[in-house]
Chain A
Amino acid sequence: LAKTTQPISMDSYEGQEVNITCSHNNIATNDYITWYQQFPSQGPRFIIQGYKTKVTNEVASLFIPADRKSSTLSLPRVSLSDTAVYYCLVGDTNAGKSTFGDGTTLTVKP
């Protein structure tokens, strides 16, 4: 299983772009990279997923370099409501062989 490493915490201000990096040095060929957001007392919620290069949706972008040993979640123009814990998950297509990171607590300040 790929071991993942994320920063424990990050601070930002409203309106700024936030980049959270996840390291996964032993990622396997079939592994995808998925990011989740979790608010207190709730289950995690899917944000974005990718395999290589760049993926963008309406809430975030995911950058994956050619060697795939890391990935960066980019949140444009964060607001107070983006304060949450963000997890990266690296694993195969059925998630049974996948590993969550310990999460990054993002605090957005006014």
Chain B
Amino acid sequence: DAEITQSPRHKITETGRQVTLACHQTWNHNNMFWYRQDLGHGLRLIHYSYGVHDTNKGEVSDGYSVSRSNTEDLPLTLESAASSQTSVYFCASSEHNRAGELFFGEGSRLTVL
């Protein structure tokens, strides 16, 4: 079955370190997204991609970057982790022109000490 997987599921790091969260989908979807979810809040869009070599900033993109070198993967990099980036991160994908129907991964819980 097609799926979307995230790794690592849990990570603890220190302030200032670079961190990369992986996202891999086998749906062959063109669209991929990264969200963060903080306690008491909904999901906020960090970055998204509509296809290979395409990346776009979401509403909370500062301190994050993504790259899309193939259809299956959209890694999220925190260049210099900050305590404010402690959160649960969700990757999602969707078919092109499939209005808003997102398929989510199980999440990556990141703690920045």
Contact = CB atoms under 8 A, between A and B. Distances in A.
Interface in B32-54: 33, 35, 40-45, 48, 50
B39 to A, nearest CB: 11
Contacts of A41: 106-107
Interface residues of A, number: 25
A87 to B, nearest CB: 6
A32 B99 contact: yes
Interface of B: 31, 33, 35, 40-45, 48, 50, 56, 58-59, 90, 92, 94, 96-107
Interface of A: 1, 32, 34, 36, 41-46, 49, 51, 87, 89, 91-96, 98, 100-103
B100 A32 contact: yes
Given A41-B107, A43-B105, A43-B107, A92 B99 contact: yes
29 contacts: A34-B99, A41-B106, A43-B92, A43-B105, A43-B106, A43-B107, A44-B90, A44-B104, A45-B104, A46-B102, A46-B103, A49-B100, A89-B102, A91-B100, A93-B99, A94-B31, A94-B50, A94-B94, A94-B96, A95-B31, A95-B92, A95-B99, A95-B102, A96-B58, A98-B45, A100-B35, A100-B43, A102-B41, A103-B42
A34 B98 CA distance: 11
| Main DSSP-derived SS at the A contact region | loop
Contacts of B100: 32, 34, 49, 89, 91-93, 95, 98
Which of B43, B44, B56 has most A Cβ within 10 Å? B43
B102 A96 contact: no
Which of B42, B45, B56 has most A Cβ within 10 Å? B42
Closest CB pairs A-B (n = 5): A43-B104, A32-B99, A100-B42, A34-B100, A102-B42
